[in-house]
Amino acid sequence: MHSINIKPSEIFQALADPTRIRIVRLLAETREEACLCELVDSILEPQYKLSRHVKVLRQAGLLSAVKEGRWVYHRLVEGIPHLDRLHEALKALPDIDGSFARDLENFRGRMCLREAGRCRIGIQTPELAAGGE
């Protein structure tokens, strides 16, 4: 494993947006990797917005990405003590408006659509796809 030298301020700046907290919390709770399609259908935010949020989280060292053909799977960077503790802290935050519970329910339903453990169908919420297709 290689060392990641990210300033704490960069981590907290990345988590300063509620949508990015939802992404990290969802992946921390499920311990799954997810493609952007699955995140769009789970969090119910447009593809272009989530793409930007995922990029910020990757640049802050909170997410890693693996490309498989046309699909890119995002997962939490784990095994680094301060990040592991951060994931636990995010999971412990109160779900005041129920958004996390909805995200989790949507995610679990969306994961059932995988074929051989992989996303192969794209975004299932057309109004959230790029260009509203």
Q: Determine the structural domain holding residue 79 and report its residue range.
A: 8-116
Using a cut of 0.85, tell me whether the model's pTM lies above it.
yes
Give the total number of structural domains in the chain.
1
DSSP for 30-84?
A: H---EEHHHHHHHH---HHHHHHHHHHHHHTTSEEEEEETTEEEEEE--S-HHHH
pLDDT band, residue 117 (cuts 50/70/90): confident
Is 132 contained in some domain?
A: no
- What secondary structure letter does DSSP report for 117? T
The 10s digit of each residue's pLDDT in 22-64 is 999 999 999 999 999 999 999 999 999 999 999 999 999 999 9
The 10s digit of each residue's pLDDT in 68-101 is 988 899 999 999 999 999 999 999 999 999 999 9
Is 80 contained in some domain?
A: yes
Could you tell me the CATH number of the domain that includes residue 23? 1.10.10.10
Q: State the Cα–Cα distance between residues 92 and 59, nearest whole angstrom.
A: 24
Q: What is the dihedral of CA 110, 46, 65, 28, to 10 degrees?
A: -60
Is 121 contained in some domain?
A: no
Task: Count other C-beta atoms under 10 Å from residue 31's C-beta.
Answer: 10
